[in-house]
Structure 1
Amino acid sequence: MKTEGSARHWIVIGVLFVSWFMVWGGGANTSPVFFVPVLKTFGWSRTRLSFGYAVAAFSAGAAGPLIGWLVDRFDVRKVMVAGVAMVVCGYLALAHTYAYGQFVLINLGLGLGFVACTGIPASKVVANWFEARRGMAMGVMLSGASIGGAIFTPVMARVIAGYGWRGAYVMLAVLIGAITIPLLTVFLRSRPDAEAAPASAEREAAPTAPITLAGLEIKEALASRSLWLIALAQFITFSLWSGLGQHFVAYLVSIGYTPQFSSQMLGLFYLVTTGGTLLSGPISDRITARSAFALTSILSALSMLLMLGSRQIAALAAYVAVGGMMCGASGVLMPLLILETLGVKRYGALMGISGIFGTLGFAAGPVVTGRIFDLTGSYAGALWMFAAAMVVCTLAALACRRFEAAIAPALAASAVA
């Protein structure tokens, strides 16, 4: 195997970076900019519109175990290309939707596309290509989402102002398809040994030993506490950042800021998020993913208090700085926490299982946030709720343990026998 610093390794990371930049940064991260224009077009309540978007997370969660099973057994490249194609078709369809039922069905399809071309397959590729520098590689890859969000958010705001939200969805679909699919098809490989052919016919015919990967089997993971603590942490973390993220522009508009300024703040938030994605991986390599995730969670709780005071520009700026860093860090640290506590052996399947709870949180966060606003006329209750939930998330991360500790009793028993 080539060393982790080889050009081939970083070409793969570069392709994954662009994929996240286009699909998540340009697609998912710009949804808050579309929220108010779509709301005005259809006149739906915030709860109803939030649910319409949130069904994408429900379908992603339902499909997560299947996608995990596929990437553990088949070529990741094919899975990701199919996912990108579904996202492209979904955005083209959204541009031509005129009824709530259509809107919901299209977002169901988008959820399937997103889960097939982002977190589970992409992090599986990183786990296959990197070990010692896995945290840094994961951070570089995921920074594509935040950098893409920082660039695409103000761009989409201007496109919506000039051509409407339907035209903006068409532009997204064309850009994502034209850039991402060719790059994945030509350059992505699932693992390093997939790129090298045998040097001779003799080597070709030689039997190869099966690759033994470290970690828990699915049954062992299901019996461990770490999987369920991670599931809880995923639900809470995803509900926070999706709930507040979806309503970010709407929240700032509700407390007196202009839509244009609010979109600019969202773009700045995503730019700061990049710092969290790039720094959290190397930090976790030094202090463990569990400690890094716990620190991120408690700082996320504190950032909610800053958001409560964001009528003052200083508090808003502080939230963008702290919250943006923590949002970026949590995206990187979650897969690293899974790798540290459950291992790489059945990573795809286990990330799919725990991801069900993450996508449920991703779906529930915007709906609950919108419902609280519809009932109270304010987002303050949602912010207090998220602050308390992140304290629970901190404790869950600290209670996880490395997978070696989970299998130690069984190994000791077999040694005695």
Structure 2
Amino acid sequence: MKKSKVFYGWWIVLGAAIVLAVMGPASVAVANLFQLPVTEEFGISNSQFAISNSLVLGVGIFLSPIISKKLATGNFRLIYSIAVIVYALAYMGFGFAPNIYVFYLLSLLVGFGYTTTTIIPVSMLMNNWFVKKRGLALSLSLSGLGIGGVIFSQILTPLINNVGWRQTYLIYGVIMLVVTLPIVLFVFKPRPELMNLKAYGTEELNVSNKGDKEQTQAKRKQATGTKTGITPFFILLMLGAVLVGLVNNGGLGQFPPVLNSLHGATQGALIISIYSAVGIAGKIILGNINDRYGTVASTIYASVLLVLTYLVMIFAGNFVLAIIMAILFGLGNAIGTVSPPLITSAIYSADDFPKAYGYVQSGVQLGMTVGSLVAASIADFTGTYTVSWIFLAIASALVGLSWVAAYRTSQKHV
């Protein structure tokens, strides 16, 4: 087979970024754009609508290990394609829902689709296609989440206002099918071996920096094997996964109302847009740090940024400090999406990665599901968000400690 000048894995990266830009925001970044019109028509509270979002994320807690295993052992593209169709049809189903209870049922299907078409399969693709530059490939792919959030927030808002929320759900569902399904069917290849290729960097034996040394250790585990099971490093890995979901969604869920109350809707929206935009670059920066300096360095870097984020947030009544907080959060928050598959691949062999990462993503989903609720509940109980921010700063530090300890401990088993 004639070799292309561009390694095919980079086309996988481009396709993954597009898929995530379309599929990811629907269940997270833009989901609440529908809240006001839906609650008004159904005559329900905001919290009743929020149950739908919790169901979407909560599905991943239970299904992530199963889905990860099925994608690894079954027909990857067939499973992926079916999930895209289910996701899109269920999302369109929102537009026909007669009441909130049908919304809840559809949310379970949407949750299945979101879990099966976004971070898990993309992380598996990057792990299969890249040995060298894995962090960069993954971060470029995941940047699609932020880019899609920006694009669809601009598209959906006028659509909801002009054609209504029901038609907008239908339009978004059609976009999912038209854009994503061809990429899954014709661009994605589960493994490079299917194209008589090898993963990027496989043949490079001479390494020159710490990041590459970790990748070499990972290749050794192909033979020796760091098996999945209830080990000390697995427990530490899972603890960090739950905590990283908690600290990420604690901020994402509670920053908007707090910033709006401190600075008003206009300036609050500006601060939110800053950390959303910085977050796109933050993923790429974190992936590059992982490639150049290794898993330990990238984990410490991101967790320190999150600690600083929540400490600065205590003084966010000052607008300048609120801007600084937004920049720190945009850079550090990448740990929630980029780091889980990278720390997992640094610990486990390629064969064990799908099973281990399924559990890790389940932990992240659990933390995300309760993160915003925990932060809000602490504030309600204590009467101030200051305690919430201190709690999340401590939790951010524990993310770094637990994941670094998990990696160090795992090396004794290689």
TM-score over 0.5 (shorter chain):
yes
- Summarize the Cα distance change of 1:137–1:82 in structure 2 as closer, same or farther, 3 Å threshold: same
Q: How does 1:170-249 map to 2 (within 5 A)?
A: 170-196=170-196, 214=222, 220-249=227-256
Q: Shift of the alpha carbon at 1:90? A: 2.6
Instruction: State the alpha-carbon separation in 2 of the partners of residues 2 and 336 from structure 1.
Output: 31
2-structure distance, mates of 1:47, 1:377:
20
Specify the alignment match of 2:118 in structure 1: 118
- Consecutive unaligned residues of structure 2, counting only runs of 5 or more, are 198-218
Q: Is the 8 A contact 2:17 2:144 kept in 1?
A: yes
Aligned to 1:132: 132
Q: 1:216 to 1:255 in 2, by over 3 A?
A: farther
1:250 aligns to what?
257
Q: Once structures 1 and 2 are overlaid, which stretch shifts more, 53-62 or 134-143?
A: 53-62
User: Out of 283, 286, 290, which is 1:284 matched to?
Assistant: 290
Given the two structures, how large is their TM-score scaled by the length of structure 2? Answer: 0.84
Matches of 2:158 and 2:25, distance apart in 1: 16
Using the TM superposition, give the Cα deviation of residue 119 of structure 1 relative to its aligned residue in structure 2, in angstroms. 1.8
Distance 2:129 2:102 in 1: 40
Distance 1:239 1:148 in 2: 23
Partner of 2:353: 347
In the TM superposition, 1:16-415 aligns within 5 A as 16-35=16-35, 38=38, 47-196=47-196, 214=222, 220-258=227-265, 262-263=268-269, 265-372=271-378, 379-401=385-407, 405-408=411-414
Question: Match for 1:362: what amino acid?
Answer: M
- Farther-moved stretch of structure 1 (31-40 vs 332-341): 31-40
Q: Which amino acid aligns with 1:185?
A: L
Counterpart Cα distance in 1 of 2:388 and 2:339: 24
Are the aligned partners of 1:59 and 1:111 in contact in 2 as well (CA < 8 Å)? yes
* Alpha carbons 1:67, 1:116 under 8 Å: kept: yes
CA distance in 2, matches of 1:347, 1:34: 37
Question: Given that residues 283 and 334 in structure 2 are in contact (C-alpha distance below 8 angstroms), is that contact kept between their aligned partners in structure 1?
Answer: yes
SS in 1 for 2:30: helix
Q: Deviations over 1:231-281 (max 9, x none)?
A: 1111111122223323443333343522x6645543432221111111111
**Percent of residue pairs bearing the same amino acid type:** 21
Give the number of equivalent residue pairs. Answer: 393
2:231 maps to a residue whose letter is: S
8 Å CA contact 1:227, 1:354 repeated in 2:
no
Q: Deviations for 1:82-105, whole angstroms, at most 9, x for unmatched residues?
A: 222222123212233353432322
Read off the aligned partner of 1:107 and give its amino acid letter: S
C-alpha distance in 1 between matches for 2:377 and 2:37: 19
- TM-score, structure 1 normalization: 0.83
Would you say the 8 A contact 2:58–2:366 is kept in 1? yes
2: CA distance, partners of 1:320 / 1:156: 24
Give the counterpart letter for 2:122 in structure 1.
A
Q: In 2, Cα distance between the equivalents of 1:248 and 1:39?
A: 22
Q: Deviations over 1:81-131 (max 9, x none)?
A: 222222212321223335343232222221111111112211111111110
Task: Using the TM superposition, give the Cα deviation of residue 140 of structure 1 relative to its aligned residue in structure 2, in angstroms.
Answer: 0.9
Aligned partner of residue 131 in structure 1, secondary structure: coil
For residue 234 of structure 2, what is the amino acid of its counterpart? L
| Cα distance in 2 for residues equivalent to 1:164 and 1:82 | 28
Whole-angstrom distance in 2 between the partners of 1:316 and 1:390 = 19
One-letter amino acid of the structure 2 residue matched with residue 340 of structure 1: A
- Could you tell me whether the CA contact under 8 Å between 1:20 and 1:118 is conserved in 2? yes
Q: Answer whether contact 1:27 1:172 (CA < 8 A) is retained.
A: no
Distance 1:64 1:2 in 2: 38
Using a 3 Å threshold, how does the CA distance of structure 1 residues 364 and 330 change in structure 2: closer, same or farther?
A: closer
Please tell me whether the aligned partners of residues 38 and 165 of structure 1 are also in contact (alpha carbons under 8 angstroms). Answer: yes
RMSD (Å), alpha carbons: 3.1
CA contact (8 A) 2:233 2:410 kept: no
2 CA distance for matches of 1:153 and 1:294? 32
Amino acid at match of 2:94: L
Question: How far apart in 2 are the matches of 1:264 and 1:276?
Answer: 18
> CA 1:255–1:165 in structure 2 vs 1: closer, same or farther (change >3 Å)?
farther
Cα distance between partner residues in 1 of 2:409 and 2:163: 52
SS at match of 1:222: coil
Give per-residue Cα distances to partners, 1:136-192, cap 9 Å, x unaligned. 111111111111112222433343444444443333222222111112111110011
1:50 Cα shift? 3.4
Q: Is the 8 A contact 1:215 1:345 kept in 2?
A: no
Contact 1:279 1:329 in 2 (8 A): no
Ranges in structure 1 where 5+ consecutive residues have no aligned partner = 198-210, 409-417
Q: 1:351: Cα distance to partner?
A: 0.8
The change in CA–CA distance for 1:404 and 1:316 in structure 2 (over 3 A counts) is closer
> Residue type of the partner of 2:260?
V
SS where residue 311 of structure 1 aligns? coil
1:203 maps to none
- Tell me whether 352-361 or 94-103 shows the greater mean CA deviation: 94-103
